[in-house]
Structure 1
Amino acid sequence: MPDSSAIQDSGAVEIPTRTLVESMIRQDSTIDAGELYAVANTLGMTDQQVRLCIKRLVAEGQFTHEGRGRKAVLYATDRTRGALEPDIEFLRYMYRQDRGVEPWDGQWRLAAFGIPETARQARDAMRDTIIRLGGAPIQGGLYVSANPWEDRIATAAAELGVTEHLTLLSTTDLLIGGARTPRALAERLWPLDRLAAGHIRLLEVAQRVLRTLRAATPPTPTQRLTLQIELGTEFARALDPDPLLPPELLPRPWIGAQARAAVAACWAELARTETPNATRVFQWYYDVTAEVLREQPASTRGR
């Protein structure tokens, strides 16, 4: 059952308790329960919420633990570590697009499958993979993307044992319901307004985090951890549904690029005084966004 307990106050990011716990995993795959409870309390969560969440995660085999209460140490299992790691190449591609170094080649990529009912689980998994890769449904079993995805889809089909049911093709001439120009097709196929709204929210959170980090009175270690988790949660929330359309298909300027540049500036600011055993979510995102700042003009950082 999804964990619906969360905190939301003025300007705060809505964070499920499970997300908080997973975000606290450090580089050595441990969680200090004292830190976990401190951050949870800062976010307005009760100790009882956290205890129940830990109990569920341990019962599911996501963590093991030693000790009790705030003196406990949680250990993420191999399954948990693997499931939580983001697609680093996806993130790099996103920032390359934002910098304008991944121009669109004008090709629409299409994927179609006709997997029988007897393989329903594989059919559902194939559909979920295509949507996760940014595919938009055209009609039954037919999806389109503006980005190269053939290798990933073919790999997924092979793993699911449905290669014989998959068709891949590309075209520069696509007409859907009277829409033919690239921007008209993008507006028809993807919820650009909703995607923009998510990035507006991300930009607001990133700007608030940046102001706090640069304030005359620096945040405490617990506050820093809280800021990291808020930023990472909102970043993932905005990115998850984003098909990463090429800039040529998006309104100009595109709020997504601005929001993600602000996030990169936040991670850079956080890195200035980060502890050696940082949270994994911090290190994952910082490793990618640090590359952005090395190539981004200083005058545009954190706007």
Structure 2
Amino acid sequence: MSETTVPGTTTAGAPDEFGGIPTRLMVMGMAKRDGSIATADLVPVMEACGLSTDQVRSCLRRLVNEGLFTRDGEGREAIYKATEAGLAVLRSNSDRTVLAYAQDAAGRGWDRQWRIVAFAIPESMRSARDTFRDRLLSLGAASVHNGLYVSPHRWEAEVAAEMSRLEIAQYVTTATTDDLEVGGITNARELAAALWPLDDIADRYREFIDMYHDVPANLSDMRRRGEKIAEHDFLPGALHIAIRFMRCFELDPLLPPELLPKAWPGREARDIMARCRRIGLLAREDKGGPAMFQVYDEAISALP
């Protein structure tokens, strides 16, 4: 994905308005299905994307310090292996991708039940409390007020697993209802609009669509002409579009279509992203190059 096909990328591969590449996104994007990251695989990617060795090392240290990865080996021979917590983060990203595209394909996905989680975790367990809250948000929850979260997703198994892992079950209450009222609002679509920042998310998706709408066709034209994308263009281009996409996707609670405004742009944006990835990989010159965002590609390839 060169500068001629992917707009908004500088010659160093860094998105203009971001002032640099989010190192964590690049590093986590190099994780394989088993959760391992090979330092040797990171080197060509960081060089193509204009990242320094110090930036990548610092990011890897943080991932280890946060308990997400362990390190085996030294230097370029080092392998970073995801811990249980790290695998949970990677699985969450994969599960969100599958959920999003599955709902897009089905055009529906809600059983008309609201899931509620309330907790009062003591200050002495602040780290567990923050981790649990972040996990709920990653599962698409909205905060009703302090310690009370709601979601339309079937998240019982994931919530129970996180409660068990963090050993906080005694401080958590869960419930399911088809009769939810918040601030006097009972209509499901109106509740969704009140609880989640849907207008902001939609605006971000539209920006992504405006920037990348023509890219799949441009990539297809390249393939028909027999042109290939060199690694020094493919790697930063693939990272750049991922950065743009994640600015939308990370904020998106992935509400079922029944709760979204009409003409929701998320589906179109995800379709563009998937086609850019699929056609871009086919046009890539070095098919054996580093497998960036392999987990994402495997998730969407498994969908009907």
TM-score category, normalised to shorter length: 0.7 to 0.9
CA distance in 2, matches of 1:212, 1:74: 38
Conserved 8 A contact 2:45-2:290: no
Residue in 2 that maps onto 1:85: 90
Whether 1:36 and 2:28 are equivalent positions in the alignment is no
Task: Map 1:219-230; keep pairs closer than 5 Å.
Answer: 219-230=229-240
Q: Deviations over 1:172-204 (max 9, x none)?
A: 111111211011100100000111122223324
Return the structure number with greater relative CO, CA threshold 8 A, min gap 6.
Answer: 2
2:256 counterpart letter in structure 1: P
The reply to whether residue 8 of structure 1 matches residue 15 of structure 2 is yes
Residue 234 of structure 1: which of 233, 244, 255 is its match? 244
8 Å contact 1:65–1:75 — kept in the other structure?
yes
Match of 1:180 among 175, 181, 186: 186
- Equivalent pairs, count: 274
TM-score (normalizing by structure 2): 0.77
Q: Does 2:195 match 1:189?
A: yes
- The residue that corresponds to 2:177 in the other structure is 171
* Greater Cα offset, 135-144 or 230-239: 230-239
- Contact 1:203/1:260 (8 A) holds in 2: no
Rate the CA distance shift 1:149–1:24 in 2: closer, same or farther, 3 A: closer
Can you give the 5+ residue segments of structure 2 that lack an aligned partner in the other structure? 1-12
- Superposed, 1:13-92 pairs within 5 Å as 15-23=21-29, 29-31=38-40, 35-36=44-45, 38-40=47-49, 45=50, 50-57=52-59, 66=75, 73=76, 75-79=78-82, 82=87, 85-87=90-92, 88-92=94-98
Please provide the CA RMSD for this pair.
3.1
What secondary structure, in the 3-state scheme, does the structure 1 residue paired with 2:116 have?
strand
Letter of the structure 2 residue corresponding to residue 110 of structure 1: I
Query: Which amino acid is 1:213 matched to?
Result: L
State the percentage of identical aligned residues: 30
Q: Aligned AA for 2:293?
A: F
Task: Give a deviation string over 1:103-132, Cα, whole Å, max 9, x none.
Answer: 311111111112222322222222222112
- Is the contact made by 1:35 and 1:222 (CA closer than 8 Å) also made in structure 2? no
1:158 and 2:164 correspond: yes
CA distance in 2, matches of 1:164, 1:34: 46
Q: CA separation of 1:226/1:58 partners in 2, compared to 1, >3 Å: closer, same or farther?
A: closer
Which residue of 270, 277, 283 corresponds with 1:267? 277
Contact 2:104–2:267 (CA<8 Å) still a contact in 1?
yes
Uncovered stretches (5+) of structure 1, i.e. residues with no partner: 1-5, 67-72, 296-303
State whether residues 32 and 295 of structure 2, in contact with CA within 8 Å, keep that contact through their aligned partners in structure 1. Answer: no
Deviations along 1:138-175, one digit per CA (max 9) or x if unpaired, are 12211100111111111111111111121111111111
Tell me the equivalent position of 1:136: 142
**TM-score computed with the length of structure 1 as normaliser:** 0.77
Matches of 1:114 and 1:54 in 2, distance apart? Answer: 38
